[in-house]
Structure 1
């Protein structure tokens, strides 16, 4: 059964393992642990951890989904959408922002599928690959 919840410290190792599988190193371990301690990390499980979402509220005092990572073998099964939907219901702010590189077509499709609106672009973060900003109002249910 698919379950989304706020990550606990017991979820740290499986989450770091997924992140390492995707980016090739464990450099974000400290960031992930801090997010878990601050209740700013969601984990999705179906028997085992299959992905996670990190967020903060430092984007002009609005919620910002800074990272969504799904294990490569579990992609295109709706896990990213499940994380976003859970976050939308539980967001600490009414406005939710996120972003992805222009080259990340799959994540752009996830945002579009979930009703996020393009909200601008930031140049010069990654040379030749602008960051696309997305926006949505919190779901009130």
Structure 2
């Protein structure tokens, strides 16, 4: 059984563990806790655990912004990120949804394109030598 649902604090350890597996440390644990407490974290739950999660805000120049999508490494290439994106797009409260990824993250560029996002610009100097590409989806 697969479910998409709002994360609860009881999910924090598992979400934080997935994040640590992907980025190599627990530096975002409090950020994740805050997103869960503020009801801004969606998870894809499978029988064997959480496959991935998405964090969003609604204050990006008065638009929705997906700030983080993380998929458990063993669940990659199975449509988890696309499912999370599609679910969030349906629930977003603004007519435009923005997100971003590093220029080097070719896998995420493909996911955004499959989900109907288009490139909207870029930001230099966040990660040295790897610009952040901004995407937008119109509802």
TM-score by length of 2: 0.97
Map residues 117-132 of structure 1 onto 2, 5 A cutoff.
117-132=118-133
Q: Which residue of 1 aligns with 2:25?
A: 25
Q: CA RMSD in A?
A: 0.8
Q: Which residue of 1 aligns with 2:83?
A: 82
Q: Deviations over 1:63-100 (max 9, x none)?
A: 10000000111100000001001100111222100000
Q: Which residue of 2 aligns with 1:16?
A: 16
Q: Which residue of 2 aligns with 1:63?
A: 64
Paired with 1:45 and 1:118, the residues of 2 have a C-alpha distance of: 30
Paired with 1:88 and 1:118, the residues of 2 have a C-alpha distance of: 16
TM-score by length of 1: 0.95
Q: Which residue of 1 aligns with 2:95?
A: 94
Offset of residue 45 of structure 1: 1.1
Offset of residue 57 of structure 1: 1.5
Offset of residue 28 of structure 1: 0.6
Paired with 1:92 and 1:55, the residues of 2 have a C-alpha distance of: 11
Runs of 4+ in 1 over 4 A off after TM superposition: none
Q: What runs of 5+ residues in structure 2 fail to find an aligned partner?
A: none
Secondary structure at the aligned position of 1:77 is classed as coil
Q: What runs of 5+ residues in structure 1 fail to find an aligned partner?
A: none
Q: Which residue of 2 aligns with 1:50?
A: 51
Paired with 1:115 and 1:93, the residues of 2 have a C-alpha distance of: 16
Q: Deviations over 1:14-60 (max 9, x none)?
A: 10010000011111110101000111000111111011001112210
Count of residue pairs the alignment pairs up: 138
Paired with 1:27 and 1:93, the residues of 2 have a C-alpha distance of: 30
